[in-house]
Amino acid sequence: MDVLIHSATFRFPNPHLHRPSRTSLRQCVFSVRSSFNLPFQEQKPKYHEHLQAAVDVVERACRLCVDVQKSLFSSDGKIIEKMDKTPVTVADFGVQALVSLEMSKLFPSIPLIAEEDSAFVREKNLVDAVVEVVSDKATIGDKELSRDDVLKAIDRGGKNASLFGPQPATYWILDPIDGTRGFVKGSEALYVVGLALIVEGEIVLGVMGCPNWQDGHSDEVNKVQGDAGSVSRSGAIMVSHVGCGTWRTKLWDLQIGNTKMDPNWTRCLVDGFHLVHQARYCTAESQTWESLPLSTQFNAVTNANSVGEKQILLVPGCCGSLCKYLMVASGRASVFILRAATETRVWDHAVGVICIREAGGQVTDWKGRQLDFAADQRERRVLFPSGGILVTNDRLHDQIVEIISSSS
């Protein structure tokens, strides 16, 4: 196996071992051209180029998802039943290929940790479909994107592509589509494209794109493309950089006619609730409230107007974990509580962690300990939280950890 020796070893097509210089982390091989100006341009944060590139590729990945999502709809707007889940598969693998291609071109020394490998698309004969959607969004110049280019790009983020050791490492973490069940529901449900950068063991930046996000006011909703299968919400892109806060802007209204509009960034802060019973909660769709430790003290209701004594409000958040992080970081929910699965995957949480921290919240396991993204020393693909994961505003965190402890 040919490898690149760095803080991670990575398969490379050439037969020579290569040791990249440490300065390559801060130097972008090509200039980044993005539709978005970052909200902290004057600060010029340390990883400005990396964040600008991440915002650009996540925005294009969201457009890829929307384009593929249209194939789920008939001309009258009804969802077409597709038992083989082809559209979500093409979008999922297409996003991974796109992000891998773009980031390897810009930052070739930084490995990628992502959800998929190419075995499934090869088996299901979907390679050409993935190539088609990626070619439309990739910045490949005059070169025609080949099947081999796309398959290698997917596998660059797949299992066993990057092998690490105990030392702190630098790498991207990608969730191509978090909330695939939301993806197939169309514009009524949330799903997220999430990308984070870990540098020497620390999450330093993150970008989440949510094509179906709707702001609180009806006049902020903008229809995209105008046909029955299109997203009819403004969408959102959330960015975070260590020390610079978390910010959000609309995804879809960047251009009016031929005039490009500067994005109107909003600083994101967690909500200010400090009493456990008054806070707003969200949970995983696969887990009932009764399976969670807070249920020993509170029942859950979903109607904000009928929250009684010993009850809490459960806020619907649809599918996937990252949209719950987005909700807490935006102040729409106070708490996201999740019981640990058999395998807790890093891409379901990495970008959410920095967005919450920079918005003033906390993310820990159920014992109040920070998540260790290096616990899986070999591949950096799995987390081992004790009990589960707790995402809160800062005021509620210790209270809820105490409740969890007392219920065990």
Annotated binding site for Mg(2+): 115, 175, 177-178, 348
Q: Which of 163, 169, 87 is nearest to 129 (CA)?
A: 87
Task: Mark whether 136 is an active-site residue.
Answer: no
Dist CA 398 CA 408 (whole Å): 16
Query: How do 171-178 and 112-114 pair as beta strands?
Result: parallel
Dist CA 216 CA 4 (whole Å): 47
Angle, to 10 degrees, between the axis of helix 86-106 and the axis of helix 147-156?
80
How many Å is the Cα radius of gyration of the chain?
A: 21
Given 56, 67, 92, 155, which residue is catalytic?
92
Task: Mark whether 376 is an active-site residue.
Answer: no
3-state helix/strand/coil string of 131-153: HHHHHCCCCCCCCCCCHHHHHHH
H-state helical runs in 229-374? 322-329, 350-358
Q: Which of 237, 152, 162, 251 is nearest to 198 (CA)?
A: 162
Q: List, edge to edge, every strand of the sheet that includes 171-178.
A: 112-114, 171-178, 192-199, 202-210, 236-241, 245-250, 266-268
Given 180, 283, 344, 364, which residue is catalytic?
180
Both tokens of residue 104?
């390897």
The DSSP secondary structure of 27-58, one letter per residue, reads --SS----S---TTTTT--TTHHHHHHHHHHH
* Residues taking part in catalysis: 92, 180
